[in-house]
Amino acid sequence: MNSSCTLDSPQTKSEYLNDVISKTMAKNPNEPEFLQAVKEVLSSLEPVVLKHETEYKDLALLERVVEPERIITFRVPWIDDNGKARVNRGFRVQFNGTLGPYKGGLRFHPTVNQSIMKFLGFEQIFKNALTCLPIGGGKGGSDFDPKGKSDNEIMRFCQSFMTELQKHIGQDVDVPAGDIGVGAREIGFLFGQYRRIKNNYEAGVLTGKGLDYGGSLARKEATGYGLIYFMREMLAANGLNLSGNTVIISGSGNVAIYAAEKALSYGAKVVAMSDSNGCIYDKDGIKLDIIKELKEVKRARIKEYLNHCPNAEYKENNGEIPAVYTIKADIVLPCATQNDITLAGAKALVENGAKAVGEGANMPCTNEAIEYFLKNNVLVAPGKAANAGGVATSALEMCQNSMRYFWSFDEVDKKLDGIMTNIFAETKKAAEVYGLGNNYVAGANIAAFRKIAKAMKSQGLI
Ligand code: NDP
């Protein structure tokens, strides 16, 4: 789902903010996802900007925050299994390096374009700041579609992609990782080609590596587990908990699977998961082992779950609301892709009694959907904060690579839990300080922005 919400004129009380939003909209007219992300973040910064308006204006701080430091696009030629030459487009957006080397995943999906790369890179700046680890914001990828490709085709594509990308990355420069369509297999091929070209074992140049060559234990689980740690904190702060609640999850990839695993461990009942075609509904609770086998081993469609659990139901997507969001649940975890929950989806979920939404994916709710949830007292854990466990553990992977040492699964998992607990505390504090109640969407944006603004100010006009 890549259709964005409507982008009306900004209406904050800060003239400076309105001006920056308007100019960004005029400058990037063909980038709806990027504009959606900018508008969502900047509008929520109103109380902070009103306090520091002259200072930020003099430093052109917001104008610089919305402008990537660098965008690299490149051609990726490769040969398919029939010997036919193919060409894709590669991207790396090095958005903001104030807090550390650019850090953010690579997405391989046919919908990838500059708008999507920029929205993801922009979000990443704030997410990475929230982790309190020394990492800047970046993102990259390609419009290459890995679905249906052989391992050899994936390898040839990754080798060609890295042949160009290696000119622009390095363990102290820019450190990519996985995202949609890029998992351990792809990271392995990318790392191999980097090492071959550089003739240098620079383990920290990529994260999400295999455990046998510099990967971190718990990295695979980190985004999903981290989401649930954040949800645990958010629910507890509002007198709720996971135990005994029903959960629906969109997606059945890396984030979705490990969010489901951790939610189950806290006593929640996961009744639905999905892929881009439709969802399965198992009122007795999803058997996660079957999903793992289908998705992590066989790379099959989720519909095949019915071959193993004939009592479950399969609902095909048709219409504006993806089938998974038509199922009744207390807790909703969108873990697939952007703009998955539109206003119509939000209304259906509220009608069905949803109490909390946890964004495992990046920007899975449109701005209108978020507003609707908040107005209807549905708690929202914003992706920037709630899915930061992946990048945080990637930073822990870099740390282990630098030490030439590794931590046990439990050590990494404990650090991850601590980081997510702290992110929630910072988010909550910022929301309270600025009188925003339990609007954690604004709280996370403000907490992150204040860190970035301070560091950008210290580093001068660059
Ligand atoms: P995966 O590729 O492992 O899984 C993606 C899942 O989402 C699949 O089930 C896929 O279904 C589904 N999906 C993808 N595109 C669409 C679409 N257009 N419509 C409906 N469903 C779709 O990716 P991840 O789990 O790694 O990433 C999921 C989300 O989490 C993304 O937004 C990503 O940016 C975000 N994220 C990921 C992190 C990570 O560590 N991996 C870290 C932080 C955020 P199908 O197989 O049918 O395509």
> What atom in ligand 1 is closest to the CA of residue 255?
25
Q: How far is CA 171 from CA 69, 164, 385, 391, 395, in A?
A: 18, 16, 24, 15, 11
> What pLDDT shows up at residue 133?
98
Rounded distance from Cα 305 to ligand 1 centre (Å): 19
Using pLDDT thresholds of 50, 70 and 90, give the confidence band for residue 361: very high
CA 105 from centroid of its chain's CA atoms: 9
pLDDT, greater one: 299 or 228: 228
Q: What is the pLDDT of residues 234-267, one digit of tens each?
A: 999 999 999 999 999 999 999 999 999 999 999 9
pLDDT of residue 388 exceeding 60, the answer is yes
Rounded distance from Cα 452 to ligand 1 centre (Å): 27
Rounded distance from Cα 324 to ligand 1 centre (Å): 15
Using pLDDT thresholds of 50, 70 and 90, give the confidence band for residue 373: very high
Q: What is the pLDDT of residues 167-191, one digit of tens each?
A: 999 999 999 999 999 999 999 999 9
Residue among 50, 47, 45, 51 at smallest CA distance from 65: 45
User: What gap in Å lies between CA 102 and CA 95, rounded to an integer?
Assistant: 7
Q: Summarize the confidence of residues 34-41 as an average pLDDT.
A: 98
Residue among 110, 182, 177 at smallest CA distance from 139: 177
Q: Which residues contact 381 (CB under 8 A, 6 or more apart)?
A: 227, 230, 231, 234, 356, 357, 358, 359, 440
The percentage of residues in the chain with a pLDDT greater than 90, rounded to a whole number, is 97
Choose which residue among 276, 280, 301, 391 to substitute to test ligand 1 binding: the one with the highest number of ligand atoms within 8 A of its C-beta: 276
Residue 76: its H or E element? strand 70-79
Residue nearest to atom 30 of ligand 1 (CA): 361
- Go through the chain and tell me how many residues it has: 462
Q: Summarize the confidence of residues 336-357 as an average pLDDT.
A: 98
> What atom in ligand 1 is closest to the CA of residue 277?
47
> What atom in ligand 1 is closest to the CA of residue 256?
25
Rounded distance from Cα 110 to ligand 1 centre (Å): 13
What residues are labeled active site?
139
Q: What is the pLDDT of residues 73-130, one digit of tens each?
A: 999 999 999 999 999 999 999 999 999 999 999 999 999 999 999 999 999 999 999 9
> What atom in ligand 1 is closest to the CA of residue 336?
7
- In terms of DSSP H, where are the helices of 45-113? 46-51, 53-58, 61-65
Residue nearest to atom 11 of ligand 1 (CA): 275
Residue nearest to atom 40 of ligand 1 (CA): 390
Using pLDDT thresholds of 50, 70 and 90, give the confidence band for residue 4: very low
User: Using a 6 Å CB cutoff, which residues line ligand 1?
Assistant: 1, 178-181, 223, 251-256, 275-277, 335-337, 360-362, 387, 390
Rounded distance from Cα 255 to ligand 1 centre (Å): 7
Using pLDDT thresholds of 50, 70 and 90, give the confidence band for residue 10: low
> What pLDDT shows up at residue 11?
84
Residue nearest to atom 19 of ligand 1 (CA): 276
> What atom in ligand 1 is closest to the CA of residue 181?
2
Using pLDDT thresholds of 50, 70 and 90, give the confidence band for residue 2: very low
Q: How far is CA 55 from CA 128, 410, 457, in A?
A: 24, 45, 10
> What pLDDT shows up at residue 9?
57
